[in-house]
Structure 1
Amino acid sequence: MHTPLLGQRSEVFTQADPHAVSVYVNQHVGSHCIQLPRASRPLAHLSHRSFAELDLCRIGYGAAVRVVSPALERFFHLQVLLQGHCLWRRGRDEHYLAPGELLLINPDDPVDLTYSADCEKFIVKVPVRLLDGLCEQQHWALPEGGVRFLEHRYRLDDLHGLVSLLGMVCQEAEEAEPQPLVQAHYTQIVASKLLSLTRTNVNPVTGHERPLNFERVVDYIDHHLGDELGSEALARLAQVSVRSLYGLFERNACTTPANYIRQRRLARVHACLVDPTCKVRSLSELAMDYGFLHLGRFSESYRKQFGELPSDTLKRRRNGLAQNG
């Protein structure tokens, strides 16, 4: 690779004990364990920079080392193979990574990687909150369970502009006087690039569209107004988190899910009261059919929405029937 990704200015270890490097990695890059050949005396090296919400790391262990971790928890890893080879195990499957390839690891993915003796990697640690926050900022539906990369392995040549962007990030990270606002700007661009260039579970709809999952939810609500409708169940239906469900309703209905449901239930009650073919035995029974258990609050909400009390609507309907009868 021709793009420099961290240089001597960022060196933390050179010709060092791999176990000392591993301790540092556990503190700054990700929880893991290493397994080294018994007879070897390898010399490891590591460069590291914190950059806004990201951590940048360039590492080589100098031996055929195996790196394992049950999960990275609240972080994603972007790993670029610079030289050598890396064996990536996923369950019973094995994949060999070559220089110029990129591996994306989700926070709950088990890690099992074996570096060749000449292997060197560049790693970017990306916090979950960064990608989740970008989804909210762009008004994209955040999937239930959070963002996930659905495809893990890429050729850098297929990710247009990503390597150049990482090179600029490293150059900015090594400036003598860091600029926090500039770093934050670059961090947002890195997050945007990752979500736009790779295959994820994020549906990048804009606030000007009415996404299909919103249409599915409101259609379900209209067909189940007499049932209990909780935010958790509606979020599962939309295949998003509860927080994203609130965002969907804010963008598309300018209100909360609970408010929307109440408005639709009041509209259904109103439609029954004005429709002469709809049998209404009593106002209290009709109200309770649609989940209004407190009749005083029901009447006040109805009056605010339709400009009159429900008893007035019913009285007008009965007067009309009497005149026509």
Structure 2
Amino acid sequence: MPLPPQVDEPLRQHGRLRTADAHLAQSVVSEVYEPHTLEPARGEALDARLNAVQNGALTLGYLAYGAGATVVLPPSEHWYHVNITLFGGSRITRGDSLCGVTSAMAGAAILVPHHTQTIEWDSDTAQFALRVPRTDLESHLESLTSTRLSGPVDFDLVVDLNSSAGRGLLRCIEFVISEWDDDGILARHGNSRRHLESLTLTNLVLAAEGPHRAILDRGAESPVPDGLRLALDYVHDHARSLPTLADLTTAAGASARTLQNQFLRHVNRTPIQYIRDVRLRGTRDDLLHPDSSTVTVTDVATSWGFYNLGRFSSLYRELYGESPSETLRRSRT
């Protein structure tokens, strides 16, 4: 992992902020991550530093304030944040009562979208801050478990980075940092960034504790029926060609009624709803990782079978909290 912040900083070639001005620090960090309030400790001079990059849907950054500080993050409904403490320590409160502590290379805090969270930074604290869109993290967990989630995931507040899965998350973050710091091929090519994004999300949900563990464990104990698995594979392989229920019954070797029941039981969606979800995720992936500088929202939408662009934009905004054009614009900047 990186040396102390005064010697070497992760993502140092991607500096976004260096200031002693608390208002400027709050403004820039809010723009990169999410609106919040920042209150430096009385009598301590701020030395705020932020280096950040965008890897598809994920925002990755190194953040330090150089002073004790209190950050209050209100509910947003749109983002999860993972703060991996590299140096120093922090104290986190979620809602009215849930509290946790992180220390250097031993703990990471997970901030969820549906609660107010307060983070108190020690003066020597530096963190690797990861912002994940709610829809992307929950869609990834749904894909891993073949289970439809009904709401935000109440991850446990602190991830133990000394656990086997926690060490796996740290190794993943180290790899992502090194790719960006060294201008590696995985950081420079859109298709490769998909792998970095998927690797990061998988390690995160495996390292975190919380109610989602029951879904992961249930998936391991109760495998998806063979016919449903064949149907799911067919959807993912042929989503652009708009598969029908008849296509799925042929692929699965099962009746339409059986497939309907299995989809509802295991993924909490009808086959048609599941196909639409996969197509929407496909458009988001292509907008986050455009294969050329000239690709348009229309190009992406029609390639996934969305020909009513108004309806497509409405569905997309409802699911992802932003318009397709905003996603494409962000991926290019």
Do both share a fold (TM > 0.5)? yes
Based on CA coordinates, which of the two structures has the bigger radius of gyration? 1
The equivalent residue for 1:27 is 31
The equivalent residue for 1:186 is 196
Cα deviation, residue 68, structure 1: 0.2
Please tell me whether the aligned partners of residues 80 and 113 of structure 2 are also in contact (alpha carbons under 8 angstroms). Answer: yes
Cα deviation, residue 63, structure 1: 1.7
Please tell me whether the aligned partners of residues 151 and 198 of structure 1 are also in contact (alpha carbons under 8 angstroms). Answer: yes
The equivalent residue for 1:50 is 54
- Matched residue pairs, number? 224
Q: Which string of whole-angstrom CA distances, capped at 9 and with x for unpartnered residues, describes residues 164-221 of structure 1?
A: 11111122234177111111111011111222232243423279525xxxxxxxxxxx
Cα deviation, residue 51, structure 1: 1.0
| C-alpha spacing 1:5/1:45, structure 2 compared with 1 (3 Å) | closer
Q: 2:268 aligns with which of 217, 239, 244?
A: 244
Q: 1:96 aligns with which of 97, 101, 104?
A: 101
The equivalent residue for 2:233 is none
Cα deviation, residue 89, structure 1: 2.1
Q: Which string of whole-angstrom CA distances, capped at 9 and with x for unpartnered residues, describes residues 66-87 of structure 1?
A: 1002224211111111112212
The equivalent residue for 1:152 is 157
After TM superposition, the score normalised by the length of structure 1 is: 0.60
**Partners of 2:144 and 2:121 in 1: CA distance:** 38
Please tell me whether the aligned partners of residues 104 and 149 of structure 1 are also in contact (alpha carbons under 8 angstroms). Answer: no
For structure 2, list consecutive stretches of 5 or more residues without a partner in the other structure: 226-259, 276-333
User: Residue 132 of structure 1 aligns to which amino acid in structure 2?
Assistant: E
User: Residue 209 of structure 1 aligns to which amino acid in structure 2?
Assistant: V
User: Residue 75 of structure 2 aligns to which amino acid in structure 1?
Assistant: A
**Partners of 1:138 and 1:80 in 2: CA distance:** 23
The equivalent residue for 1:81 is 85
Please tell me whether the aligned partners of residues 141 and 205 of structure 2 are also in contact (alpha carbons under 8 angstroms). Answer: no
User: Residue 36 of structure 1 aligns to which amino acid in structure 2?
Assistant: P
Q: Which string of whole-angstrom CA distances, capped at 9 and with x for unpartnered residues, describes residues 229-274 of structure 1?
A: xx9xxx8xx7x9xx733269989xxxxxxxxxxxxxxxxxxxxxxx
The equivalent residue for 1:162 is 169
Q: 1:195 aligns with which of 202, 205, 215?
A: 205
Please tell me whether the aligned partners of residues 48 and 64 of structure 2 are also in contact (alpha carbons under 8 angstroms). Answer: yes
User: Residue 158 of structure 2 aligns to which amino acid in structure 1?
Assistant: R
**Partners of 1:191 and 1:115 in 2: CA distance:** 25
For structure 1, list consecutive stretches of 5 or more residues without a partner in the other structure: 211-230, 252-325
Q: 2:71 aligns with which of 67, 70, 79?
A: 67
| C-alpha spacing 1:47/1:93, structure 2 compared with 1 (3 Å) | same
Q: Which string of whole-angstrom CA distances, capped at 9 and with x for unpartnered residues, describes residues 105-139 of structure 1?
A: 11112110111111111110011121232244345
| C-alpha spacing 1:248/1:30, structure 2 compared with 1 (3 Å) | same
Q: 1:130 aligns with which of 136, 141, 146?
A: 136
SS in 1 for 2:51: strand
CA RMSD of aligned residues (A): 3.3
Please tell me whether the aligned partners of residues 108 and 158 of structure 2 are also in contact (alpha carbons under 8 angstroms). Answer: yes
**Partners of 2:271 and 2:162 in 1: CA distance:** 36
**Sequence identity (%):** 17
**Partners of 2:58 and 2:30 in 1: CA distance:** 15
SS in 1 for 2:162: helix
**Partners of 1:53 and 1:87 in 2: CA distance:** 27
Q: 2:14 aligns with which of 7, 10, 22?
A: 10
| C-alpha spacing 1:27/1:249, structure 2 compared with 1 (3 Å) | closer
SS in 2 for 1:160: helix
